[in-house]
Amino acid sequence: MIARQISLLFDGFAYGMLLFVLSIGLSVTLGMMNFVNLAHGAFAMIGGYVTVTLMQKAGWPFLATLPVAFLGAAVASVVLERVLYRRLYRATDLDQSLLTIGIVFVSIAAAAFIFGTTQQPIELPAYMRERIVIGDFSFGAYRLFLIVSALIITAVVVLGLDYTRFGAQIRACVDNQRMARGLGLNVDRIFMLTFAIGSGLAGLGGAMAIEIVGLDPNFGLKYLVFMLIVVAVGGLASIRGAFFTAAMLGIIDIFSKYYAPQVGSFVLYLVMVALLVWRPNGVFARR
Amino acid sequence: MTDTATPLYNPQDLMRAQVRWRMLETVFWVSALLPFFVAETYLVLCTQIAIAALFALSLDLLVGYSGIVSLGHAVYFGIGAYTAGLLAKYGWGEPLSGLLLAGLVAMLFGYLISFIMVRITHFALIMVTIGLCLLFEEFGNQAHDITGGHDGLQGVRMWRLFGTFRWDLYGFTAYAYSLVVVFLCFLVIRRIINSPFGLSLRGMRENARRMPAIGAPSKQRLQIVYTISATFAGIAGGLLAQTTQFVALDALSFQRSAEVLVMLVLGGAGRLYGGIIGSIIFLVARDQLASNNPQYWYFWLGLLLILVIIFLPNGILGGIAHLLSRRKKS
């Protein structure tokens, strides 16, 4: 009994780490530019389709496709940022939401047109499909891979933000954009790079998510809610907050699906609304 | 606007000038009768347009006039639809009282939820409205015994309108009924917007902090307008349930919330006819484009959104007004 709960906890944590990788970029860009980017999930979907295409059509190994998924999403996001997003930095929340929802709708139709509406299967390498057995417990190797990668990404992001020059510039822009501009920082350029990295991470997350949650044209809309919960509850531009929220979200979701499947996502949405009403700036908000 | 030295207006004259019924408005509403004579096969579509227009108008009270963002307005639409649908299913098929009840139930929900809405702003508000919409949709899905879940609410049987008019296959009765209801609601909304209360709403949209300082309590008024808006959305939902004699789970969905917002923004938010024009263009376009494949309709919908936001930030009516004012100046 305990063994089952521990493995549920493990699965939930792995799922949470996946959500963390998917949402961390959204958190930082939203905190920095106050830009409501509801198309973040679409970038994740791009990453997923890059991996699927490379594996199915070109026969690449799974791990080799991940950097390409990162790059694909990052490049796509920079193009959109240059062409569309930058026109709306001073616009209202509503206009920003609508523009990015429009992008999500186009991405759904485009993905359906190119890849069809079915779920995309991928074949993981054998060593990732194994189960690791320790005493009474057994863990999926792939979930272990997810957790380890997410922890590495977290470490890189946190250390990068705290100890590099670029990280300091990002923090300055998040804390006070006007002041940063006044001190001579090129905020637009910093934002573009941050946006690219954040979207790239989303693409990476999208590629790693295929094995867990699948990939279809609605991916961008389906998982947007989870990403927004992580960001909204975790607090804008708070890595720590996003990490804890994502971990909790993954664990709650797995446990509720296991023990109370009839309730569905109801509890999740209820908790999210309650937390947001209680603390509109996020439970772990810095400001 | 450039000439600030014009004599001071008497504020009452200003209000009266706004209320005055314009020629173009009369033409518009009279032409809404045209489908009866020239486009009988499109009456079903016209009914849908009338309902969507009312829904967009109700949202305009919030988004356009009060500056409250909502990405989950379908909650009230769905509540109204299910109220009217369930009433008719379980034995009370009288349309007018059913519609009234649909509005009242939506009003009650709107009032309760308004306590949450006035507490939060910006990003959190967008999130909470999306969250509530998903919450109600999920509830509608799970409460399969009551709502029929994904299969929709079957077995809605409406009585004859006033005990005499049958709900015919071509939708004569449905369109006439919807048009009259929508027109009456439009008159009420028009009156609200042009009242001092409506003016204070626009004041809050422009500067929410200053309004309490000049004696207009923001939160209370926002709650009132939220409740009113929910009521009209509920009536629109009720109309849809009664005229189609069916309620799909889609009535509560996030997609519907997004769609109505698109209609409003397309036509021009904060303009009385913006939502109406937007819903006409939107639904006619969907009727033409989505007939072959709904997946590709999303492409056009998204493209339309992007183009409108980038090139016509005030919607089609805003763009026309801009052109007219430029012409006047030169």
d(CA B146, CA B214): 48
Size of interface A-B (CB pairs under 8 A): 122
- Tell me the CA distances in angstroms from A137 to A5, A17, A276, one per residue in order: 10, 20, 37
> How many residues does the structure list for chain B?
330
Is residue B266 one of the residues assigned to a domain?
no
- Tell me the CA distances in angstroms from B91 to B85, B88, B98, B236, one per residue in order: 10, 5, 11, 21
**Amino acid identity for residue A230 in this structure:** V
d(CA B296, CA B289): 8
Could you tell me which residues come within 8 angstroms of residue A88 by beta carbon, excluding any fewer than 6 positions away? Answer: A35, A95, A96, A99, B309, B310
Residue A180, token pair as written in the block: 């940063």
**Any A CB within 8 A of B146 CB:** no
For residue B140, give the chain A residue with the closest CA: A266
Q: Flag if B306 and A280 touch (Cβ within 8 Å).
A: no
Chain A residues lying within 8 Å of B119, measured CB to CB = 277, 280
Is residue B258 one of the residues assigned to a domain?
no
As for the ipTM of the complex, it is: 0.82
Is residue B140 one of the residues assigned to a domain?
yes
Tell me the pTM.
0.86
Residue B271, token pair as written in the block: 């303009």
Q: Which domain holds residue B113?
A: 11-253
* Best of B121, B264, B298, B308 to mutate (most A CBs within 10 Å, chain A): B298
Interface of B with A in 59-78 (CB under 8 A): 63, 69, 71
Chain A residues lying within 8 Å of B126, measured CB to CB = 36, 93, 97
Q: Flag if B123 and A36 touch (Cβ within 8 Å).
A: yes
* Best of A98, A216, A228, A270 to mutate (most B CBs within 10 Å, chain B): A98
Task: Let me know the angle formed at the C-alpha of B328 by B325 and B330, rounded to the nearest 5 degrees.
Answer: 115
Q: Flag if A112 and B303 touch (Cβ within 8 Å).
A: no
d(CA B152, CA B159): 20
Is residue B22 one of the residues assigned to a domain?
yes
**Any A CB within 8 A of B126 CB:** yes
d(CA A153, CA A19): 13
CB B62 within 8 A of CB B225: yes
- Helix and strand numbers, DSSP H then E, in chain B: 16, 0
Is residue B129 one of the residues assigned to a domain?
yes
Q: Choose among B135, B142, B298: nearest Cβ to A108.
A: B298
Closest to B247 (Cα-Cα) out of B98, B60, B39: B98
At residue A125, the 3 state secondary structure works out as: coil
Per-residue model confidence (pLDDT) at position A54? 92
At residue B19, the 3 state secondary structure works out as: helix
Chain A residues lying within 8 Å of B310, measured CB to CB = 84, 87-88, 99
Chain A: closest CA distance from residue B59 (Å): 13
**Amino acid identity for residue A143 in this structure:** R
Per-residue model confidence (pLDDT) at position A51? 93
Q: Flag if B305 and A101 touch (Cβ within 8 Å).
A: yes
CB A74 within 8 A of CB B49: no
**Amino acid identity for residue B45 in this structure:** L
* Best of B70, B116, B130 to mutate (most A CBs within 10 Å, chain A): B130
Per-residue model confidence (pLDDT) at position B1? 44
Closest to B105 (Cα-Cα) out of B144, B136, B127: B136
Q: Choose among B124, B142, B304: nearest Cβ to A232.
A: B124
d(CA B188, CA B243): 22
Could you tell me which residues come within 8 angstroms of residue A25 by beta carbon, excluding any fewer than 6 positions away? Answer: A40, A43, A195, A197, A198, A199, A200, A201, A202
For residue A98, give the chain B residue with the closest CA: B305
Chain B residues lying within 8 Å of A236, measured CB to CB = 123
CB B133 within 8 A of CB B257: yes
Closest to B51 (Cα-Cα) out of B243, B273, B285: B243
Chain B: closest CA distance from residue A279 (Å): 9
Closest to B48 (Cα-Cα) out of B211, B246, B188: B246
Closest to A34 (Cα-Cα) out of A167, A218, A187, A263: A187
Chain A: closest CA distance from residue B134 (Å): 7
Task: Kindly give the confidence (pLDDT) of every residue in chain A, 287 residues in length, as a single tens digit, with 9 standing for 90 and above.
Answer: 677 788 888 889 999 999 999 998 888 888 777 788 889 999 999 999 999 999 988 888 888 999 999 999 999 999 999 998 888 888 888 888 889 989 998 998 899 888 888 888 787 887 777 787 777 777 788 888 999 999 999 899 889 888 999 989 988 888 888 888 999 989 888 889 999 999 999 999 999 988 888 888 888 888 888 888 888 888 777 788 889 989 988 998 888 888 877 776 787 888 888 888 888 777 776 54
Closest to B263 (Cα-Cα) out of B48, B28, B107, B118: B48
d(CA A84, CA B310): 8
Is residue B294 one of the residues assigned to a domain?
no
Is residue B299 one of the residues assigned to a domain?
no
Q: How many structural domains compose chain B?
A: 1
DSSP helix, strand, coil percent of chain B (3-state; round to 5): 75, 0, 25
Chain A residues lying within 8 Å of B142, measured CB to CB = 262-264, 266
Q: Flag if B304 and A102 touch (Cβ within 8 Å).
A: yes
**Amino acid identity for residue B12 in this structure:** Q
- For A170-212, the DSSP string reads HHHHHH-HHHHHHTT--HHHHHHHHHHHHHHHHHHHHHHHHHH
Per-residue model confidence (pLDDT) at position B330? 66
Which residues of chain B are modeled with pLDDT < 70? 1-9, 292, 294-295, 330
Residue A278, token pair as written in the block: 């209680």
Chain B residues lying within 8 Å of A260, measured CB to CB = none
**Any A CB within 8 A of B292 CB:** no
CB A199 within 8 A of CB A73: yes
Chain B residues lying within 8 Å of A103, measured CB to CB = 302, 306
Is residue B324 one of the residues assigned to a domain?
no
Residue A130, token pair as written in the block: 């194994």
